[in-house]
Structure 1
Amino acid sequence: MQVLRQIGGVLCSVALATVSASSARAWTPGDDFDDRHCRTERDQGGDTVDVCRAIYGRGKVYLGVYWEDGSSVVGPCSTSDPEPIEYKGMSQRDAQSWVDSYCR
């Protein structure tokens, strides 16, 4: 009986850890970009960058820009869209500049 309780406790801990890990990660449009949505380019500094564009939801165009160092910009192409642009490794101004240049 003691062994069954220990096994049950371990299984419960594993299940809780799995649920916690998956719920901590928020969905972003960039999670669904396929290879066919993307092309590899060089930015002005000569760094390799993957630029992705795709349509999601009700015809919303999303942009995703990903650098090898982990920097990224993901968000809607429409300036009137209330959904914010998500960015990492750069300023908000630089992120907005990428969206402006690739979405227009």
Structure 2
Amino acid sequence: MTLLASQVIIRPVVSEKSLDLTKSGNKYTFAVHSSANKHQIAAAVEELFKVTVLDVNVLTTKSKAKQGRWRRRTRVLGRTTPWRKAIVTLRAGDKIEFFEGV
């Protein structure tokens, strides 16, 4: 499956843990397309942000059951959406300016 760079990278992940990785190890975290592999992710980050990627680590979060609620005398149960996360390590000296203001 051929994906464009803008389809591979869905959004940046901004959390306390991801910002600590950015400050300490020059690692940036992105939510990525579920079928994208490491080579596609590295190429997309290099194309979109004009940086050099050294390493890509990928993990998939599973869906989890959400708390049920009552609606018209029946209990409605839900699940979170499973998604894929990529932690991208950049060459020393490279930065992604989007994360600098957060």
Query: What TM-score, normalized to structure 2?
Result: 0.28
Specify the structure having the higher radius of gyration (Cα).
Answer: 1
> Larger RCO: Structure 1 or Structure 2 (Cα < 8 Å, ≥ 6 residues apart)?
2
Query: What TM-score, normalized to structure 1?
Result: 0.28
More strand by share: 2
More helix by share: 1
